[in-house]
């Protein structure tokens, strides 16, 4: 099955194909594979946990228009109070897309609105940590686009300290975590279907001969693994484990943005491939590549003591798989892009606020997905030297 097909598959189709592919592939390979049922799964109905509306502000409507893409405006437990973007035209577009009649000229002004209790930060990556800290310091919960921080371990520590001090909800909207394959891997792992992972892979290929337009040109020549989370989610988002050290190789595919003096990062690499050691004692290969001709895909694979999984196919010893049905969404709320992950991420954040619990990708998981990429780039610059990765544990 192609990754493109997986990304566009609906939930019922995913479960039907999981059963067919798992059993067929397992028989051919001589493994015992389990599925919850050979019959098409019945999709769960969404059940509200509260009738309260969380009052949300949304900031950022750049080239990807993520401010509106995650569906806050369609969630029945959300009232969008105000939006913001530094550019007036985009601000107007975000107001229209979110069906909101109030806007502010900047995040710094929006966070002063006492009516707002949570903010979605969809701004430029270099400002994610700064903006989230500003939101939290004004007493508001925050969900941010990826990555959590941009190339700065110091910012990671500042962000963590702020979350701890405020006690507010922080969530990083890592899309791979709610792709159908990664979601299934996580539940099978928790049920013991893989045992400890011996090896895992996460891949984010995004062929980009010319940089995607970006605020202040932050994307031009950026170190690939400063944007690691679509890949690293295929270990951290599956197991809740950690990367402990890394050796990374960099490659120059000859893109203009990576020529000497062509970018603000002095970064020569269009592609980076990292080999991590994991807290389970296994190994994990994670990459972010922009120079591989024509490939745009986010995917991963996991290989454990009791089984392995690629795309939608589980092979292993588990006789009956756990419930891997993707989480239901409110009626009228689209699953959205990145493999139908946008809607589930928003629903998880809002539900976490309503239930007063930590969201799936809290600050500890967010830093565990982001910081290893920063260290991996340092390793690549040092010609693959093995480097230790900072660990952020609960206080």
d(CA 114, CA 195): 48
- Show the tokens assigned to 260: 């000497």
Percentages of the chain per state (helix, strand, coil), in multiples of 5? 35, 20, 45
CA atoms in the 13 A half-sphere facing the CB of 366: 31
Place 146 in a pLDDT band, splitting at 50, 70 and 90. Answer: very high
Place 42 in a pLDDT band, splitting at 50, 70 and 90. Answer: low
Q: What is residue 377's three-state secondary structure?
A: helix
pLDDT, position 354: 98
Give the mean model confidence (pLDDT) for residues 108-116: 98
| Tens-place pLDDT, residues 154-184 | 999 999 999 999 999 999 999 999 999 999 9
Task: Catalogue all structural domains in the chain, each as residue range(s) with its CATH number.
Answer: 3-37+176-323+363-388 (3.30.360.10)
Closest CA to 302 of 313, 318, 289: 313
Which residues 6+ apart lie within 8 Å of 124 measured at CB? 60, 62, 214, 215, 216, 218
| Tens-place pLDDT, residues 303-338 | 999 999 998 799 999 999 999 998 899 999 999 999
Helix axes 153-166, 128-137, angle to 10 degrees: 20
d(CA 138, CA 348): 22
Q: Is residue 341 within 8 Å of 176, Cβ to Cβ?
A: yes
pLDDT, position 28: 31
Give the mean model confidence (pLDDT) for residues 262-289: 98
d(CA 123, CA 134): 13
Phi, psi values for residue 309, rounded to 5°:
-150, 135
Q: Kind of pairing, strands 243-251 and 387-388?
A: antiparallel
């Amino acid at each position: 099955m192609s990754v493109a097909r997986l990304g566009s598959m609906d939930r019922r189709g995913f479960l039907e194909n999981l059963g067919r592919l798992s059993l067929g592939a397992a028989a051919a390979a001589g493994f015992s594979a389990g599925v919850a049922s050979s019959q098409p799964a019945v999709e769960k109905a969404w059940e509200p946990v509260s009738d309260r509306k969380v009052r949300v502000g949304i900031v950022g409507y750049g080239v990807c228009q993520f401010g509106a893409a995650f569906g806050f405006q369609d969630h029945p437990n959300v009232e969008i109070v105000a939006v913001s973007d530094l550019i007036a035209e985009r601000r107007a577009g975000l107001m229209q897309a979110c069906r909101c009649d109030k806007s502010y000229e900047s995040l710094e002004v929006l966070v002063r609105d006492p009516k707002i209790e949570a903010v979605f930060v969809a701004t430029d990556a270099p400002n994610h940590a700064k903006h989230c800290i500003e939101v939290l310091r004004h007493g508001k919960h925050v969900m941010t686009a990826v990555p959590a921080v941009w190339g700065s371990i110091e910012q990671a520590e500042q962000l963590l300290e702020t979350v701890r001090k405020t006690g507010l909800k922080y969530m990083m909207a890592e899309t791979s975590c709610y792709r159908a394959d990664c979601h299934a891997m996580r539940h099978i792992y928790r049920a013991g279907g893989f045992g400890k992972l011996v090896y895992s892979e996460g891949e984010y290929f995004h062929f980009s001969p010319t940089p995607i337009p970006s605020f202040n040109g932050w994307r031009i020549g950026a170190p690939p693994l400063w944007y690691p989370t679509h890949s690293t989610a295929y270990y951290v988002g599956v197991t809740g484990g950690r990367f402990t050290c890394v050796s990374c190789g960099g490659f120059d595919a000859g893109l203009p943005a990576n020529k000497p003096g062509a970018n603000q990062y002095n970064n020569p690499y269009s592609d980076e491939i990292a080999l991590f050691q994991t807290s389970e004692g296994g190994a994990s290969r994670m990459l972010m590549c922009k120079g591989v001709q024509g490939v745009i895909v986010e995917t991963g694979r996991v290989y454990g003591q009791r089984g392995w999984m690629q795309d939608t196919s589980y092979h292993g010893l588990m006789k009956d798989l756990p419930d891997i049905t993707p989480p239901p969404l409110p009626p009228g709320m689209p699953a959205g892009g990145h493999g139908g992950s946008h809607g589930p991420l928003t629903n998880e954040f809002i539900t976490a606020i309503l239930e007063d619990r930590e969201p799936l990708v809290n600050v500890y998981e967010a830093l565990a997905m982001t910081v290893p990429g920063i260290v991996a780039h340092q390793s690549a610059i040092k010609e693959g030297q093995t480097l230790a990765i900072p660990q952020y544990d609960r206080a």
